Structure 1
Amino acid sequence: MSDPPVFRSNPAPLWRRALRLTLRLGLIAALAFGLHLMSVWVHDLTGQLNSIDHARTMTGILAVSLLGYALLLAAPFVPGVEIGVAILLVEGPSAAPFVYAATILGLALAYLVGRFLPLPWLARILADLRLATWAAAILRLDAMPREDRIARLCERMPKRLGKIAVNYRYIMLAVLVNLPGTAVIGGGGGILTLAGLSRLFNFWGVLATIMIACAPVPLAVWLFGTGFLH
């Protein structure tokens, strides 16, 4: 196999690189601010469900809240789970199937974004942000066949743990999605985006995994009510 590509500094003039860096940092900041505003808006919208009597209006607000919940859940480092819990608390067991479906939609969307995001483009973004080491790692990942990626993952982890991580990666994915404290690595959206970027997970396998992993809470609410959520 040929040597993996090595990232080289951009030969563009300094002013052009500075402008591009400023624009991309501005875009990232605008995106983060937009997600924050969307999160606040969806939270407020969900809070209105208790005070609305008109069935058609309530159905529309619930549908928009569920869509917003799915989109926020797909975004790394954005707290979207609280919205799903709020909808369950307000609407009760009748909303459980819809919250479950929105959860699956959001996490599947996060995986697909990572899966189809062009790695060379991502490497260029990282390089412009002066993260050359990460950019080089992304380029090496892009150049590797799937089997080599699995072998490299095994090499970088303790022997027994590496084999478990590879052979039972869908189980580990399910555990990570449900593990408290994963917000530091992006929450469910971040985990699924990374799974897509790794190119080590099949879409249908991921879909089956998140359908099973995300079922317990909505199923419990559907069967037993929301008492345990308080």
Structure 2
Amino acid sequence: MDRTGDGRIGKTPDIGDRNGPGARRRRLIPLGAAYLIALGLGFYLSHSLPPWLEAEFSMGGRMIVTVVVAYVILAAIPFVPGAEIGFGLLMAFGASAAPLVYFCMVGALLIAYAVGRLVQPGLLARLFLSLGLRRAAGLVARGSGMDPKERAAFFTENAPTRAAPFLIRYRYVALAVALNFPGNALVGGGGGLAMVAGMSRLFSPLAFVATVVLAVSPVPLAIWLLGW
């Protein structure tokens, strides 16, 4: 027990409070370790798999199907630099592989987005709560029954940072830029960004598809048209 300035007896802060700053930091340690492991695994795959994909692709026939399936699955996984793997295939095979790489990347992002949509807001809120992120958990729970426009307005009004309202308002442009930004694997890569977009439920399916179709097109289209 502790006495306040006016002589009243107040409650002494519980040093071992499971919701205190120290407890939250301890919860973030496993999350940080998981992030570093995922990031390292993603970069390892981006360096070790392109030679195998190129070898399989060059064999033609059924091997091309194997490459397509493997590439789509890998590019949909968060923290795997799918764009870099695609660039490796484009450098190896040039314009002939551009349409295939383009449609594979689009398909991978749509799969990741669909997986994100399957994550229920209640589960996401519990995850935030387990990490001590009470405000984020409350925002997710309160916005779960809203449509994308209502949710965007709600998150904008309750944004924790000054940049968040701008990013939410221009979220489709921000997503397109992020998908083409070098080193985006540090924030989850294309698969991670698409999955978060699905979980946020701020992106309507049709608008997301249109954004991805346009955002992924510049490099493959240029290579295909110019025959690089």
Regarding TM over 0.5, the answer is yes
Alpha-carbon spacing, 1:49–1:144, altered in 2? closer, same or farther (3 Å): closer
Q: 1:149 aligns with which of 148, 151, 170?
A: 151
Alpha-carbon spacing, 1:125–1:163, altered in 2? closer, same or farther (3 Å): closer
Structure 1's unaligned 5+ residue stretches are 1-8, 10-24
Q: Equivalent residue for 1:43?
A: 50
Q: Equivalent residue for 2:200?
A: 198
CA distance in structure 2 between the aligned counterparts of 1:74 and 1:202, rounded to whole angstroms? 19
More helix by share: 1
Alpha-carbon spacing, 1:36–1:173, altered in 2? closer, same or farther (3 Å): closer
Q: How high is the TM-score relative to the length of structure 1?
A: 0.68
CA distance in structure 1 between the aligned counterparts of 2:44 and 2:167, rounded to whole angstroms? 40
Alpha-carbon spacing, 1:195–1:94, altered in 2? closer, same or farther (3 Å): same
Q: Secondary structure at the match of 1:142?
A: coil
Q: How far 1:192 sits from its partner (Å)?
A: 1.2
Alpha-carbon spacing, 1:174–1:49, altered in 2? closer, same or farther (3 Å): same
Deviation sequence 1:136-158 (CA, Å, 0-9, x none): 55434425554542223322254
CA distance in structure 2 between the aligned counterparts of 1:136 and 1:201, rounded to whole angstroms? 20
Q: How far 1:215 sits from its partner (Å)?
A: 0.7
Structure 2's unaligned 5+ residue stretches are 1-17, 19-30
Alpha-carbon spacing, 1:60–1:131, altered in 2? closer, same or farther (3 Å): farther
Contact 2:90/2:98, CA 8 A, preserved across alignment? yes
Q: Quick check: 1:162 aligned with 2:165?
A: yes
Q: 1:210 aligns with which of 195, 212, 215?
A: 212
Matched to 1:214, the amino acid is V
Counterpart mapping for 1:1-230 below 5 A:
42-49=49-56, 57-125=59-127, 130-131=131-132, 133=134, 135-144=137-146, 146-155=148-157, 156=159, 158=162, 162=165, 165-166=168-169, 168-226=170-228
Deviation sequence 1:72-125 (CA, Å, 0-9, x none): 221111122222112112222111111000010011111111112122233445
CA RMSD in angstroms comes to: 3.5
Alpha-carbon spacing, 1:195–1:62, altered in 2? closer, same or farther (3 Å): same
Matched to 2:165, the amino acid is G
Number of aligned residues: 194
Contact 2:148/2:204, CA 8 A, preserved across alignment? no
Q: How high is the TM-score relative to the length of structure 2?
A: 0.68
Alpha-carbon spacing, 1:154–1:132, altered in 2? closer, same or farther (3 Å): closer
CA distance in structure 2 between the aligned counterparts of 1:58 and 1:141, rounded to whole angstroms? 49
CA distance in structure 2 between the aligned counterparts of 1:35 and 1:177, rounded to whole angstroms? 16
CA distance in structure 1 between the aligned counterparts of 2:166 and 2:90, rounded to whole angstroms? 39
Percent identity reads: 36
CA distance in structure 2 between the aligned counterparts of 1:126 and 1:165, rounded to whole angstroms? 20
Contact 1:35/1:72, CA 8 A, preserved across alignment? no
Q: Equivalent residue for 1:18?
A: none
CA distance in structure 2 between the aligned counterparts of 1:63 and 1:131, rounded to whole angstroms? 44
